[in-house]
Structure 1
Amino acid sequence: MRIGTLGAGAIAQAVARHAVRHGHEVVLSNSRGPASLAPLVEDLGALASAASPAEAAAADLVVLAVRWTQIPDAVAGLPRLDGTVVVDATNQFASLPPDPVIADLGDLTGSEYVASLLPGARVVKAFNALFVQYIAPDPRHAAGRQVLFLAGDDADAKRTVRDLTSEFGFAPVDLGTLREGGRLIQLGGPLSALHALKQD
């Protein structure tokens, strides 16, 4: 699979490392341009490259991993992502700790808002409920596999994300739609920052 990232911070890098470790091609992008990612690409190896956001978004699966306030700029100018699976790893922090403020979206969940900015994309919420220190290492532990909650409105897209993250070693748990499931794992939800293991 060819996996693109919009954003190249800690979460995008963690997913990219899992991907290349399992033989997937990764195309990274950020707001500063491909040249700024040269050291990271070299570190990741031959399966990694850097490109513009539009080029990264042409991948088979796209990981959106930018700060909440950067989302509009990160997706502006992208071509329509008709049918593309987009993993939304964002959290709706209007401002970051130590004085965090959660963006008020009214009745919308964070991923429903993201989906509204990406017409045609098949959005799956995942990775946002875990601190990066639980994403980056091998998710397989002596006591079990790291649980990864996901939600989405497209069953095939969720299956794609489930299969990929299972390959990485996670134990994906489908919580349902972006509305019901997304509400459980977004900031303030009962499953946000719940770092559980599943015994096999």
Structure 2
Amino acid sequence: MSYTIIGFGNIGRALAMAFSRKGIEVSVATTRDPESFAADAAAIGPKVIAKTLAEAVKADIIFLAVRFESHPDVAKALPTWQGKTIVDVTNAYGVPPEKLGGQPSSLVVAQAFSGAKLVKGFNHLVAAVLDQDPAVHGGRRVVFLASDDDDAAAEIGVLAENLGFAPIKLGGLSEGGLLVHARGNSWGQLIFKDLVKFD
């Protein structure tokens, strides 16, 4: 299984740190030339590899960690996203609900990435928290996952556990997923909630 993170801002870097901490190889990409951020990627860890967008989208699992407004540009990188799982880490805060057609933002993202399985996840924590070791006081930091595809949610749940997090599945995008969606000037009720699960 191969992994990539599209977007190398604070959230993208925090995700790269999570992979690096567990020694799992991950590629990182933006719309910029990878030479411009290769040193920053290498500084996170030897298994964080800067790639072009065209190379990075060959991965099986793709974390979308760009600004919500930028997702259509990323979606143009492939004619079809069949066989790929997209983890939507974007937040559509400030985007008017009418621009989303009244839908949760992840459904809008899912339409752009036609053919992909989509999981909303890892978006409710701010970068400074996501950046920290998820092992906290003998427990594991919680990440919420929502998807209309149970298999995809299970797959990302296993990855979250491998990264040291405690995944909690919220159900479909239009049901439990609304708890981790931003719309207009409001945040879902679980956004910013830093919870720890003790086994």
TM-score by length of 2: 0.90
For residues 101 and 112 of structure 2, the distance between their equivalents in structure 1, rounded to whole angstroms, comes to: 16
- SS at 1:102 equivalent: coil
Alignment-derived partner of residue 146 in structure 1: 141
- SS at 2:145 equivalent: strand
Unaligned 5+ runs, structure 2: none
Alpha-carbon shift at residue 79 of structure 1 (Å): 3.6
Alpha-carbon shift at residue 143 of structure 1 (Å): 5.7
Asked if 1 retains the 8 angstrom alpha-carbon contact of 2:80 and 2:113, the reply is yes
CA displacement 1:120-164 (0-9 Å, x = unmatched): 111100011111122111111116221111101111211111111
Alignment-derived partner of residue 117 in structure 1: 112
Alignment-derived partner of residue 95 in structure 2: 102
Provide the aligned C-alpha RMSD in A. Answer: 1.5
Asked if 2 retains the 8 angstrom alpha-carbon contact of 1:88 and 1:111, the reply is yes
Alignment-derived partner of residue 97 in structure 1: none
State the one-letter code of the partner of 2:81: L
For residues 88 and 128 of structure 2, the distance between their equivalents in structure 1, rounded to whole angstroms, comes to: 18
CA displacement 1:93-113 (0-9 Å, x = unmatched): 3xxxxxxx2332233101100
For residues 60 and 20 of structure 1, the distance between their equivalents in structure 2, rounded to whole angstroms, comes to: 18
CA displacement 1:27-52 (0-9 Å, x = unmatched): 11112121112112321343222222
For residues 168 and 134 of structure 2, the distance between their equivalents in structure 1, rounded to whole angstroms, comes to: 14
Which deviates more from structure 2 when the two are superposed, residues 119-128 or residues 33-42?
33-42
Alignment of 1:45-64 (within 5 A): 45-64=45-64
CA displacement 1:51-90 (0-9 Å, x = unmatched): 2212211112100001112111222232411121111000
Q: Percent identity?
A: 38
Alignment-derived partner of residue 133 in structure 1: 128
Alpha-carbon shift at residue 13 of structure 1 (Å): 1.4
Alignment-derived partner of residue 199 in structure 1: 198
Asked if 1 retains the 8 angstrom alpha-carbon contact of 2:60 and 2:83, the reply is no
Unaligned 5+ runs, structure 1: 94-100
For residues 48 and 77 of structure 2, the distance between their equivalents in structure 1, rounded to whole angstroms, comes to: 23
Number of residue pairs aligned between Structure 1 and Structure 2: 193
State the one-letter code of the partner of 1:184: L
State the one-letter code of the partner of 2:95: I
